Structure formats: C-alpha cells, structure tokens
Structure 1
C-alpha cells in the first residue's frame, strides 16, 4: 500500500511577510466589493473551514455570516451563487495549477489560461492571484447588480481593463487610502497600485494564512506521531480496498483531475444569462467535450471535516451521509435526502432533481462502480478524515484583523 510523501517547505511557494500583511487587510476589507459590503472573508471565513457554511452562498444582497446569512429584504439577491464556496487550504502549494470546480483557470507551460482572454491574463504573479478577478466582477458575488454602483455599471458595459474599467475603479479606491499607499510602498516598492498588485498581495496572504501541513496525518507520515486504530483502519480503506485514493491521491488528497461522480445538483445551475436551464455541466462548459459533462475537480480533503456542506453544489450537510452516497453514487442519487443548508429564498432550488430526465442523465454520467460502505467502514473513514484536521491552521496564522484601513466593518 502506497502513501503520499510528507509535505515539505519545498512544496510551497515562498511568501514575503510585508506582502502577506498587506494582503491580509485587503482580504478582509469590503472596499473591493461594488457596494463596499462584502470582503473575501465573507464567503471564505475560518469559522466555516474557509468556506461559508452554506450549500450555495449569498454574496451581493445577503446579510449576516455563515449559515445565518440571509437575503436582505431591501436589496434582494438575484440568485444564489451557483456553486459551493471551496476551501482555501494549501493553495500556495506548487501542485495547485488548476482552480475552480470546473478548472476554468489553469497554469500551463505557456502561461495562464482563463475564459477572460489574453488581455485579462497579464500581470498576475500566480494562478491564485488571477483567480481573484472573478469574484470582484461577479454581480452575484461582489460587484453588485446592474446600476447599483460604478463597479457593477462598468462590468455591465464590459469595461474591465484600462482607465475607467472595473479594475481601475477598484484600484483607485485603494490608492486613495494613505495607509494602503504606505503599505504598498513598503511591500511592493516602485510598483503602482493596480488590480494585479492588489491580487498578488491577497494571493500571498491566502498562501501563507491557510497553509495546512501540521495535521495528525502529517505527523504520522513524518514518523513523529501515532494514530488511533480506527484511523489506521480508515487509512487501510482509503488507500486500499475502498479506492478513495484513486482520485484523492497525493499529499493533499487530490489528483487535480475531473470526474463525474453524480453529486446531486441544486440551485440556479451554471447557465449564461440568456439561458433558462438550471443545469451545471461542470467541466464540459470549459472543454466543450460531452465526455466532460457533470465532471468536477477532485477537491483536496485537508480539513474536510470543517468545510461542509459537501459537493460542488453543497448537496450534503452530513459528511457521513456524503461518504455513503459518494461511494455508491447511483443509489445515493436515487435515495438522496435533500440534505442542503440553504438560506430562505423564493426560488426553486430542486428543478434538476425534480426532473426525471435530468436525473437520468446525471446518473448515466457516473464513472466507476457503486460500492456500498458498511457503517463500520464509514466510521473508519471518518476517523481517518479527522486526522486531516489541522487545529494549528484552522484559525489562520494571523487571524482576522481588528480593523482595516477603509474603516469599513469586518465580517467576524
């Protein structure tokens, strides 16, 4: 039975303390949202495993934090965010060269590949930095809805780069705050305060803050600790007969590949504004290949016990149930209990699962056999997954700042 090699410093990119300190404030500052009411930390909060605790989150038009976040009656969201907020663990590791559930941004030998085109890909230091372009431009996540603010208006008109574009307008907000100007001068001397510079700082903070390699499993791999017999039994299953490591391989328990596993779909789906369906075709929307329909990226399992709800659409709020359904996805889909954590909204979140044709198509796409897990096997796998819980990392290395230079309120 083969286990991954222990994680070492060489597996991660180096970070600069001054850049990290700057990025920390920008990560928690709502100034980068169109209406100045949402920060990166709103939907990627340490209290919820660097996610938001919801199956499908609420960005613009939401109020509150985590599972208590609800639609603001004075500024109703247009829809839920179509996919579950992913955790931020170990994104500074060099092996993370594909991001998002559908892998729509990627670091290749030729540079960055994103749906935004070459002009939008210039100047980002890393793939993780480039990732930040998407939430700030999304009406449902951070930008705000049509005509609500100057950022959403620029996005609506398709003006992103250049003078007066959405990125320039956001950067101007940061440039206007003396404390940020001083920190940029220290952290990135000689560099203008542009959106790519802001993104690079946030990315370095995420890389530093959410590094997780001191879990009990890490100590065991390094020969520095022992594990409970139940966890050892789970390891035997995970890396052996249950076949989990076929996809959840490597030091962070992911092959970074894309697999159709039949996870239930709910919410608005991933459709263009002119489309009316509620389907999420996953990787196929990136590649155009029908063989990639309903395939999603294998998530890392670091701190997985803290990152629920689970599934690309947050279909399961109970991890034990998710393990059972994930191992036997066809029967799991047929008997799914609709175990989602959703804020109340006047929406039909179950359009796909209420349509027998859609369910049949989803089931037919599933790759691999069903394997029914016994309760004891699920308990053993849960015991192993608990060893991936890194208590040292869960609160973050620096934590939530007491205040940010904009003086805007922080979601705590």
Structure 2
C-alpha cells in the first residue's frame, strides 16, 4: 500500500495534460461523413479500381494494416495475410513507410501530417497548406485531414497504379493534380453518390458541381468522426476518475511523465509534440529520399525540408489506441510495445540486436534483395547510427511492464462500436 501511495503521489506531481473535449475537434457534417464512409471502403478512388483506403487503414488492425511496410496497389487480401499479387498486376514496390493509425486526426491543434511532415498548415502557396501539390492543391478543403486524403490517390504504389495502366496514373505522371478530376468524374457519374452529394454539400447544386474537393471533405468528415478517441481509461483519469487506472497503469503513467522521459516528445493532450526526432530505428525497405537520391534508404524529414540537420528524423506519433496499431516505428521495425520501448531506452544497443525476422514483411521474392540493401552500405549505416536524438534511460523489467500497462490504458473502449463501422459487402 505504501508503494502504491508513493506512485500515486508522484503521478500527481507530474505535468499531466488536460483532458480532450469537444472544443479540441473541428466540426464535421454527419451527412458528408456518411458519404465519406462509403468512399473509404470503395475501390472507385483507385486508378485500377482494385484497392481502397481501408486496405491500408482497416479497423481490424487499429486503422493500420498490421504490416511493417504495406502491400499497396496490385496486392490481394487484407492485413498480414495480404499477398503481393501475380503476373502483370503484381506489386512493383513495397509501400515505403508504415501505415499510421487514424485516431484523432480531426483535432484542431494538428498542424503537420505524414511521417516526414510533408503536409502542414502554411500560407507558402496561398492555399493554406504546404503540400506535395504546392500551388495545385484544390481550393475549398475543409481541413488538413481533407488535404491528406488526396495524396494516397495520386501515389503510384498506394492507389494510383503504374504508369500506362489507367488514366489516373497517366495524368498524375504529367502533374500531381491532373488525376483528381478523373476520379471526381467517376464519383459524380455514379448513382450511389451523385444525388447524395448534391444533398450533403451546400456548394453542389447539380452532380456536375462535384469535384475532388467534396470527395476529400467527405473522407475527412468520416475519418474525423469515426476514429475520434477521447474516452480511454487515461482520458477518464484526466477527467477526474481516479479509479479509471489500475495501480500498474498509474505506475506506468508516473514513469511516462517522469523518469522514462516519454512525455518529452509525447506531450500535450494529443500525446505528440508534432516535431521530428531521430530514433535510430533499424532501416529497411525502399524508403523515401530526396529527389534524385539513388540510395535505397529513408532520409526522413530531410526529404521534405532539404536541411541536413533533419536527416533521419520522423514525426512523433500520437498514442491513443497505440496498443492496437502494431508493428511500431515509421517503418514498423518493432513487432510489439515492449521491443519499441526497449529501443527508446537504448537505441544503439537495440539496433545492434535487431533481427530482420522482427519485421512484418510478407514474402515478395522479386523485391527481397532490395529489402535490406541499406545494411550493406557501411557509410550509410554509420550516418544513421550517429544521428540519434534521444539519450539512453535505465529502466527495470518491472518498470517496462508498467509502461506497457499504461500504454494499454490509452485504448478507448468505444473502438469496437464506432459511429459507422464497416459497410455491408466490403470485400478486401
């Protein structure tokens, strides 16, 4: 009992965040969200009509896909059972980064998205966003989340398809915005959507008025409403229910906001500082580089900022429902919370011990020679080992178990009863 009181007293002394409330989230329209719900699970938005948003962000896998690096356009199946396809339709590249969860992306305070922050709120192009589409981003987007929804549609290996396979990817190859009108035409000529969108959007008087803007806004409305998470045991504790957390979870919370220094990056009500940090994660896969960079590597924030000091840094993820979204890291290098925590505590030692079998990479024989190619480049590996922004922390096994318990306390009990759920007839 004395130990429990000591832990509870320490937790009370920490700078805990305030609880999330309705004012923290942008308002979205339910009628528009209902359209977004259908579009999210509809292959109509992919170039070859063979993949949906849900294939990489499925509720069965915590709105991720259960893989380290996803199998995108051309693959077959769902989650860890997804296969890379066959023949001319087979995948040509793994998705370069882990599919992040979609929880609380409708929060007002979010200003930056993607692992490398290549989408952010900004007036640099006069449209409210700094994005890969630069000045060609469509007008009228209702949120940062709506802008984000546009880019998987134009990505060759995610949803657009390979050049010469369809009109969408051919148009995107010319310029990033040229594919969106083709997708918008599909939607506005589809009887399932055209009248519904006329009814749901004030700026749409006839189906001819439907553009990619309304499609993106509908997707944003759906994701923001469907995957809002504010009622985890931790949230209940912050709101004043001292009994919401077990003693082990309170112990883990004390460590999180104290000795373990987790909250130095996972801070604030959203549990992210929205900044970029180099953790020395084991590299693999095709990665994302700067333009014209010939390496099979991932340079992180450097690819967006072009500042050398940003090399190998990635955005701090938010942590609501983190226990549901394994594997972990920008490339899904670690299969469970324990291994990810241990890496944070001693990145150099963890990197030295890491084994390729820890990654969740479905077999793709024609890509496997390149999967771990970066490990053969001793200069690149040395550069990555030198760039680590976090200092080691010494925790006992018992303390690590307490941290894991606390991270499970971030799981919202309502995840199994979302407002919309999966639509009838969805076939992966």
Q: TM-score, normalised by structure 2?
A: 0.91
- For the pair 1:299 / 2:321, whether they are aligned, the reply is no
Q: Distance in 1 between matches of 2:293 and 2:387?
A: 22
Q: Distance in 1 between matches of 2:427 and 2:277?
A: 37
Whether contact under 8 Å (1:46, 1:396) holds in the other structure is no
- For the pair 1:330 / 2:348, whether they are aligned, the reply is yes
- For the pair 1:367 / 2:384, whether they are aligned, the reply is no
Quote the residue 1:80 is aligned against.
Answer: 94
Quote the residue 2:9 is aligned against.
Answer: none
**CA separation of 1:150/1:90 partners in 2, compared to 1, >3 Å: closer, same or farther?**
same
Whether contact under 8 Å (1:270, 1:281) holds in the other structure is yes
Q: Distance in 2 between matches of 1:183 and 1:122?
A: 21
**SS of residue in 2 equivalent to 1:236:** helix
- For the pair 1:358 / 2:380, whether they are aligned, the reply is yes
Q: Distance in 2 between matches of 1:121 and 1:190?
A: 14
Whether contact under 8 Å (1:324, 1:372) holds in the other structure is no
Q: How does 1:151-162 map to 2 (within 5 A)?
A: 151-158=168-175, 160-161=176-177
Q: Distance in 1 between matches of 2:416 and 2:381?
A: 37
**SS of residue in 2 equivalent to 1:309:** coil
Quote the residue 2:422 is aligned against.
Answer: 400
Q: Alpha-carbon deviations, 1:358-410, whole Å to 9, x = none?
A: 2221111101311233211110000000100112025532101114xxxxx54
Q: Alpha-carbon deviations, 1:178-207, whole Å to 9, x = none?
A: 231111011103422101110011001100
Q: Alpha-carbon deviations, 1:16-47, whole Å to 9, x = none?
A: 11111111111111100011111111110000
Quote the residue 1:18 is aligned against.
Answer: 31
**Shift, 1:151, TM fit:** 0.9
**Shift, 1:121, TM fit:** 4.8
The number of equivalent residue pairs is: 402
- For the pair 1:205 / 2:222, whether they are aligned, the reply is yes
Quote the residue 1:406 is aligned against.
Answer: none
Quote the residue 1:124 is aligned against.
Answer: 141
**Shift, 1:325, TM fit:** 1.0
**SS of residue in 2 equivalent to 1:106:** strand
Gaps of 5+ in 1: 404-408
Q: Alpha-carbon deviations, 1:229-288, whole Å to 9, x = none?
A: 111110110000110000000112111111111111110111368543111111111111
**CA separation of 1:143/1:109 partners in 2, compared to 1, >3 Å: closer, same or farther?**
closer
Q: Distance in 1 between matches of 2:174 and 2:132?
A: 18
Quote the residue 2:363 is aligned against.
Answer: 344
**CA separation of 1:357/1:248 partners in 2, compared to 1, >3 Å: closer, same or farther?**
same
Q: How does 1:102-121 map to 2 (within 5 A)?
A: 102-108=116-122, 111-121=128-138
Q: Give the RMSD, CA atoms, in angstroms.
A: 1.5
User: Which structure has greater helix proportion?
Assistant: 2
Q: Distance in 2 between matches of 1:36 and 1:115?
A: 23
- For the pair 1:93 / 2:107, whether they are aligned, the reply is yes
Gaps of 5+ in 2: 1-13
Q: Distance in 1 between matches of 2:48 and 2:37?
A: 20
**SS of residue in 2 equivalent to 1:96:** coil
Q: TM-score, normalised by structure 1?
A: 0.94
- For the pair 1:174 / 2:187, whether they are aligned, the reply is yes
Whether contact under 8 Å (1:270, 1:280) holds in the other structure is yes
**Shift, 1:356, TM fit:** 2.6
Q: Distance in 2 between matches of 1:260 and 1:19?
A: 39
Q: Distance in 1 between matches of 2:188 and 2:55?
A: 23
Whether contact under 8 Å (1:34, 1:152) holds in the other structure is yes
**Shift, 1:333, TM fit:** 1.2
Whether contact under 8 Å (2:290, 2:304) holds in the other structure is no
- For the pair 1:387 / 2:405, whether they are aligned, the reply is no
